[in-house]
Amino acid sequence: MIPLTPLEILVDNDCGIDLPLPDDLKTLYGRLQFPPFGGRPQVISNFVTTLDGVVSLGVDGKSNGDEISGSNRHDSMVMALLRAAADAVLIGAGTLRQSPHHVWTPEFVFPSLEGSYRTLRARMGKQKPPMCVVVSAGGTLDLALPVFTAGKAPVAIITTAIGEKEIRKESVPPAVQVIPAGDRETLTIGEILDALLRLLPGGNIFLVEGGPHLIGQFFDQGELDELFLTLSPRIAGRDSHSQRLGLVAGRVFLPERLLTGRLNGLRKSESHLFLRYAFKGG
């Protein structure tokens, strides 16, 4: 396999304190900074979209990010890097259904740098892999999927009281924590974050990887600090017969509300762009 080349850095604003990246990751990505940790954790998200804004093709077996990015290796490297820096990776039940065989660890998407990702976590004082947190209000989940049974990383399910009853109908793997976080049929982002802080009281980076409905809630409730966005040079298209979701679903902002990001980073690999936008106060 051809060695991965460093990303070309076009914009790299000062965002705080450098993470202690091993030399190979620093060469490939450049510096990765976050505001000083303390108090409220930093909530970030990572997505890849086509030029026309599609994040999922909505086709069985072809709905994950590889189809959008064209299996771009730099996109996988960055995804793994952000996972390695995070204490928890959050996904919605829809994302799990679209990628049932996925395991949300750094090495799953970029195994050749597994040692470097582990070194980064050790330098940050993180002894375990990032916790995979599945958000499911209704609790309708297949607990036999690899994310729950493979034992590659700690796993938790944040759900409602109703969802917990549904989950307990199955045999819950011993390593899976089930956290009821609300008494209603839906979960607020505040309830999700409160549950996360109970699970990981020392956590300082929470990474949201999907899907569009979950990230829409984070935007809507003003709880997303930064968006890492890979812009793929592909065009997916839409028609009246297929549902192809964009970055945000289930929420409408303009013209009533204005959500504006501040560009903090721009990297390039051939025709793929890697953008970093700050939202909220970040």
Question: Mind listing the pLDDT tens digit of every residue in the chain (282 residues)?
Answer: 788 999 999 999 999 999 999 999 999 999 999 999 877 899 999 999 999 999 998 777 666 788 999 999 999 999 999 999 999 999 999 999 989 999 999 999 999 999 999 999 999 999 999 999 999 999 999 999 999 999 999 999 999 999 999 999 989 999 999 999 988 889 999 999 999 999 999 899 999 998 999 999 999 999 999 999 999 999 999 988 877 899 999 999 988 888 999 999 999 999 999 999 999 743
Question: What is the distance between the alpha carbons of residues 197 and 188, in angstroms, rounded to a whole number?
Answer: 14
φ, ψ for residue 148, nearest 5 deg = -90, -25
Give the DSSP per-residue string, the chain: -PPPPPPEEEEE---SEE----HHHHHHH---EEPPP-SSPEEEEEEEE-TT--S----TT--SHHHHHTS-HHHHHHHHHHHHH-SEEEEEHHHHHHSTT---SHHHH-GGGHHHHHHHHHHTT--SPPEEEEE-SS----TTSHHHHS-SS-EEEEEEHHHHHHHTTS---TTEEEEEEESSSS--HHHHHHHHHHH-TT--EEEEEE-HHHHHHHHHTT---EEEEEE-S------TT-----S--S---TTT-----EEEEEEEETTEEEEEEE-TT-
Question: What is the distance between the alpha carbons of residues 50 and 246, in angstroms, rounded to a whole number?
Answer: 9
Residue 24 has a CB neighbour count (10 Å cut-off) of 14
Question: What is the distance between the alpha carbons of residues 196 and 87, in angstroms, rounded to a whole number?
Answer: 10
Note the pLDDT of residue 2: 81
| pTM score, whole prediction | 0.95
Strands 155-160 and 88-92: what pairing?
unpaired
Residues composing the chain? 282
Architecture of the domain spanning 41-234+262-278:
3-Layer(aba) Sandwich (3.40)
Note the pLDDT of residue 254: 87
Cα–Cα–Cα angle for 229, 155, 20, rounded to 5 degrees: 50
Two tokens at 165?
């009853």
Residue 110 has a CB neighbour count (10 Å cut-off) of 23
Instruction: Taking each helix axis as running N to C, give the angle between helix 212-220 and helix 189-199, from 0 to 180 degrees, rounded to the nearest 10.
Output: 100
